[in-house]
Amino acid sequence: MKKVQILLFLAVFNFAAVSAAADPKPETTSGKLRTQIINLLGVPELELNEDLLESTIQFMVTSKNTIVVLNVSTENPQLENYIKSRLNYKKAEIEITGNRIFHLPYKIKKG
């Protein structure tokens, strides 16, 4: 009987240790894509007149995993050109079926 109690205790302890080590929030496809976009954009070396530049990037990932920039909503043409040159026709690291459109807010702080 004592061996059964010890085995039961070890089983519960092992289950608790494994469940505590598991990642509680696995990264989603959108999260992986966002991380890749941020890495592709890098740190722009633009002359900024304002303290903060904001834009929204609308892009599509095709069925062949190619990123195509559809629209960059910003008032700064340098920022728009920078984003398009860094993202357009780059290969996405995620696998998707069909074409999907994404919207990503993008901010640059002066400093």
Confidence (pLDDT) at 11: 63
Whether 45 is in a domain gets the answer: yes
Q: DSSP for the chain, please give it.
A: -HHHHHHHHHHHHHHHHHHHHS-SSPPPHHHHHHHHHHHHH-------SSSEEEEEEEEEE-TT-BEEEEEEE-S-HHHHHHHHHHHTTPBPSS--SS-EEEEEEEEEE--
Domain count, the chain: 1
Exposed e or buried b per residue across 9-47, where buried means at least 16 C-beta atoms within 10 angstroms of its C-beta: eeeeeeeeeeeeeeeeeeeeeeeebeebbeeebeeeeee
Query: Is 23 within the bounds of a domain?
Result: no
| Domain membership flag for residue 93 | yes
100 in a structural domain: yes
| Structural domain for 80, as ranges | 28-109
Residue 19 within a domain: no
What does the pLDDT read at residue 24?
A: 56
Confidence at residue 108, expressed as pLDDT on a 0 to 100 scale:
86
Is residue 68 a part of any domain in this protein?
yes
Sheet holding 67-73, edge to edge: 67-73, 52-61, 100-109
User: Which segments of the chain have a pLDDT < 50?
Assistant: none
Q: Domain for residue 57, yes or no?
A: yes
**Any domain includes 5:** no
**Bridge partners of residue 12, in order along the sequence:** none
Give the model's pLDDT for residue 44: 84
